[in-house]
Structure 1
Amino acid sequence: MSQQQISLPAKLINGGLAGIVGVTCVFPIDLAKTRLQNQRQGQQVYKSMMDCLVKTVRSEGYFGMYRGAAVNLTLVTPEKAIKLAANDFFRHHLSKDGKGLTVFKEMLAGCGAGMCQVVITTPMEMLKIQLQDAGRLAAQQRKPGILAPTKLNPTNAVLSRSYTVVPSSPGTVSATQIAKDLLLKEGIRGLYKGLGATLMRDVPFSIVYFPLFANLNSLGKPSPEGAAPFYWSFVAGCAAGSTAAVVVNPCDVVKTRLQSLNKGANEETYSGVIDCVSKILRKEGPSAFLKGAGCRALVIAPLFGIAQVMYFVGVGEFILGLLQDPQSCVEISPQ
Structure 2
Amino acid sequence: MERQGFIASLMAGGCAGMCVDLTLFPLDTIKTRLQSQQGFYKAGGFKGIYAGVPSAAVGSFPNAAAFFVTYDCIKSLLGAGGAHAAPHVAPATHMLAASMGEVVACLIRVPTEVVKQRTQASPTSTTYRILLATVKEEGVRGLYRGYGSTVLREIPFSLVQFPLWEYLKTLWSYRQGHTLHSWQAAVCGAFAGAVAAFVTTPLDVAKTRIMLAKVGSTTASGNIPLVLLEVWRSRGLAGLFAGSVPRVTFISAGGFIFLGAYEKVRRTLL
Class of the TM-score when normalised by the shorter of the 2 chains:
0.7 to 0.9
Is 2:132 the partner of 1:134? Answer: no
Letter in 2 for 1:244: A
**How many percent identity over aligned positions?**
28
Task: Quote the Cα distance in structure 2 between the aligned partners of 1:19 and 1:207.
Answer: 19
Please, which runs of 5 or more residues in structure 1 have no aligned partner?
A: 47-51, 136-169, 324-328, 330-335
Match of 2:251 among 291, 297, 300: 300
Letter in 2 for 1:8: F
Q: Deviation at 1:207? A: 1.2
Please, which runs of 5 or more residues in structure 2 have no aligned partner?
A: none
Root mean square deviation of aligned Cα: 2.7
Is 2:65 the partner of 1:81? Answer: yes
Indicate the residue corresponding to 2:7 in structure 1.
9
Match of 1:27 among 25, 33, 41: 25
Letter in 1 for 2:183: Y
Indicate the residue corresponding to 1:118 in structure 2.
106
- Higher relative helix content: 2
Indicate the residue corresponding to 1:247 in structure 2.
199
Asked if the contact 2:211–2:220 (Cα under 8 Å) also holds between the matched residues in 1, the reply is no
Asked if the contact 1:222–1:228 (Cα under 8 Å) also holds between the matched residues in 2, the reply is no
Partner SS for 1:134: coil
Q: Deviations over 1:94-118 (max 9, x none)?
A: 1266314432222111211121111
**Structure 2 vs 1, CA of residues 10 and 102 (structure 1 numbering), >3 Å: closer, same or farther?**
closer
Asked if the contact 2:115–2:130 (Cα under 8 Å) also holds between the matched residues in 1, the reply is yes
Task: Quote the Cα distance in structure 1 between the aligned partners of 2:126 and 2:15.
Answer: 25
Letter in 1 for 2:35: Q
Q: Deviation at 1:236? A: 0.4
Task: Quote the Cα distance in structure 2 between the aligned partners of 1:90 and 1:269.
Answer: 35
Asked if the contact 1:127–1:175 (Cα under 8 Å) also holds between the matched residues in 2, the reply is yes
Q: Deviation at 1:35? A: 0.6
Q: Deviation at 1:29? A: 0.8
- TM-score (norm: length of structure 2): 0.87
Q: Deviation at 1:128? A: 0.7
Task: Quote the Cα distance in structure 2 between the aligned partners of 1:195 and 1:72.
Answer: 16
- TM-score (norm: length of structure 1): 0.71
Match of 1:231 among 183, 186, 191: 183
Instruction: Single out whichever of 16-25 and 193-202 deviates more from structure 2.
Output: 16-25
Q: Deviation at 1:204? A: 0.9
Indicate the residue corresponding to 1:45 in structure 2.
41
Computing the radius of gyration from Cα coordinates, the structure with the larger value is 1
Instruction: Single out whichever of 81-90 and 92-101 deviates more from structure 2.
Output: 92-101
Q: Deviation at 1:178? A: 2.1
Letter in 1 for 2:137: K
Give the total of aligned pairs.
Answer: 264
Q: Deviation at 1:215? A: 0.5
Q: Deviation at 1:299? A: 0.9
Partner SS for 2:121: helix
Q: Deviation at 1:205? A: 1.0
Indicate the residue corresponding to 1:108 in structure 2.
96
